[in-house]
Amino acid sequence: MNKFIKLAIILLLMHGSCTKMGTSTQTQNYDAVYLNPDADIEERVEDLLSRMSLKEKIGQMTQVDRGFIQQHSDITTFCIGSVLSGGGSGPPENRAISWADMVDDFQQRALMTRLKIPLIYGIDAVHGHNNVYGAVIFPHNIGMGCTRNPDLVRQAARVTAEEVAGTGINWTFGPCIAVVRDERWGRTYEGFGETPELTEKMAAAAVEGFQGSDLKDPVSILACAKHFLGDGGTTGGHDQGNTELSEAELRAIHLPGYISAINAGVGSIMASYSSWNGEKIHGNHYLLTNVLKQELGFEGFVVSDWGAINQLSADYEVCVEKAINAGIDMVMVPDDYKRFINVLDTLVTRGRVPINRINDAVKRILRIKFRLGLFESPFTNRSYTMQIGSSEHRAVARECVRQSLVLLKNNGKVLPLSGSESRIHVSGRNADDLGSQCGGWTISWQGSRGSHTIGTTILQAIKQRAPASTKITYSADGSNASGSDIGIVVIGESPYAEGKGDSNDLSIEEQDVDTVKRIKSTGIPLVVILISGRPMILDSILDECDALIAAWLPGTEGQGVADVLFGDFPPTGRLSHSWPRSMNQIPINLEDIPYDPLFPYGFGLTY
């Protein structure tokens, strides 16, 4: 037989074996129901659960940060169900392709387990895919709340989902739907605002944007409403503090966002570090199980926060027992996964954690993995990788910036700029600092000043937009402004995240006041742009400026600020928080009696 005929026969035989492997168009005879993509999801869940050992079940409930994985083979050995990248935790080379390679490698390891259950990989993509260099950074939620535009929130979430999917990641720990009642909290900017009405509207929009109409869509990623329940209501705004409210008040203020997110189909919810009337949420069976899962019918899974279960007791066994029995389904360990796995195995074996609680948790996790289509498409769809940071995506973020700006003052209608200025002097330490305009949760956990990713600062945007006939000069401290037609000073906060941003003093920093006064002393008209994660106390500068814009944390697309300054688009933003006159007024919220803010909730001028 000649060699070509022999080769043809081999190829036919190989094709036959591939067919058996399920690549043909004929109907498949899958060995197991759970592997059949056409089978009912609940049947797939039950079938897979019935095949799992206790070890495999506990592995699915275990989430590990990539930086703590001692050897990648542990993913296979311990049947780990989820990996995360905490703030700033990424591959050595922070490039989209490196992220995709890293995530796909972890996925390979998971698919080498006996039952080949794919990983779900989580990350805080809370204002764009903010860990990844070159990704578009959107305004933080406090600014998105000021847009009052749920369609735009949905669009921003969709773009974020595309960029996240481009790195192979299939789960964001967002939206944060904290109803923020006290601006001393370092996470004020992560919530949409101070009212349940605004929050419930934006929560649904964000979930729909991230998850799309079908979780199986290659661009869709799992959303995670957080942090359940009452994270934004702690006394004094203390991060991870104590929310002291009656159940009626807790439900009225903090629950509507979750009802809205659940109705929008959110597939995961993260528990809050905080406490309710002295009891840690992570150990609160009434809220996590009776209210969230039974009363509200949430059928996704509850994930703990970073190491949060460790706060439940001095005894780690008690921590695990309380958290799992309360209704935590997946534990963001995130470090000593071997200890967690061994302890939970012991607790089940000794009957301190019932097997039906384990089965419920694992079913919830598997249900979401099936809905995401992870069993059929576990790896990065590289066609989205190239979309990260695209001009189309940046255009969406620029629109978000425009609509998030709130014009608080405009005496003498100094804004919009006429375009016939011969010289504009720009000043302030946040004018040419991409890191400050992005804020926390950007490239690193805390964020940082400086140029750490791709974007346009406000100064660069003004230079790009100004007519050629207009000279743009700059000084960080306000010097050399004399003779200009107008001064624009960009001041405010430096980046921070979580508890590191807790503060009892929200007044404008002295060096910013000096900059404002230095420009004011020249007698030219003065526009102040405030870059901050929350309202600040303005008494030191309010009378000094002719116009004032709250720009929040606008992200990488600084052009959106120039668009409004030059009048290409009018300011339309409306405050998502009541603006306090002084620290003594905080907390101050819409329904307070008396209610006497500097600027009321919903305030915003236009041209």
Site for ligand GLC in 172-201 (CB under 6 A): 173
Query: What tokens does 313 get?
Result: 């007791």
Q: Is 305 in the site for ligand GLC (CB under 6 A)?
A: yes
Site for ligand GLC in 103-132 (CB under 6 A): 124
3-state secondary structure 486-524: EEEEEEECCCCCHHHHCCCCCECCHHHHHHHHHHHCCCC
Whole-number Å distance between alpha carbons of 15 and 23: 9
Q: Phi, psi at residue 423, to the nearest 5°?
A: -150, 135
Whole-number Å distance between alpha carbons of 279 and 453: 41
Residue (86 or 597) nearer to ligand GLC, CB: 86
Site for ligand GLC in 154-173 (CB under 6 A): 173
Applying CB under 6 A, among 127, 226, 282, 425 the residue interacting with ligand GLC is 226
Whole-number Å distance between alpha carbons of 238 and 274: 9
Residue 194, H or E segment: none
Contacts of 471 (CB under 8 A, 6+ apart): 422, 423, 424
182, 231, 305, 433: the catalytic one is: 305
In 3D space, the residue among 103, 110, 9 whose CA is nearest the CA of residue 56 turns out to be: 110
Query: What tokens does 525 get?
Result: 């008209």
Active site residue 305: yes
3-state secondary structure of 91: coil
Closest CB 492 distance from ligand GLC, rounded Å: 23
Count of chain residues binding ligand GLC (CB under 6 A):
7
End-to-end Cα distance, the chain: 87
Residue 404 near residue 147, CB atoms below 8 Å: yes
- Tell me whether strands 301-303 and 171-172 are parallel, antiparallel or unpaired: unpaired
Closest CB 178 distance from ligand GLC, rounded Å: 10
Whole-number Å distance between alpha carbons of 105 and 250: 43
Applying CB under 6 A, among 99, 276, 306, 370 the residue interacting with ligand GLC is 306
HSE at residue 92, side-chain half, CA atoms within 13 A, is 0
Whole-number Å distance between alpha carbons of 545 and 486: 11
**Interaction pattern, residues 68-87, with ligand GLC; x per rule: CB under 6 A:** ------------------xx
Q: Phi, psi at residue 347, to the nearest 5°?
A: -60, -40
Contacts of 377 (CB under 8 A, 6+ apart): 218
Residue (441 or 601) nearer to ligand GLC, CB: 441
Residue (224 or 406) nearer to ligand GLC, CB: 224
Output the furthest CA–CA distance in the chain (Å, rounded): 99
Q: Is 502 in the site for ligand GLC (CB under 6 A)?
A: no
Q: Is 239 in the site for ligand GLC (CB under 6 A)?
A: no
In DSSP notation, 128-190 reads BSTTSTTPPBPPPHHHHHHHT-HHHHHHHHHHHHHHHHTTT--EE---B--B---TTSTTGGG
The 10 Å Cβ neighbour count of residue 584 is 8
Query: What tokens does 190 get?
Result: 């992560």
Residue with tokens 């779900």: 120
**Interaction pattern, residues 411-430, with ligand GLC; x per rule: CB under 6 A:** --------------------
Residues of this chain that bind ligand GLC (CB under 6 A): 86-87, 124, 173, 226, 305-306
Catalytic sites, residue numbers: 305
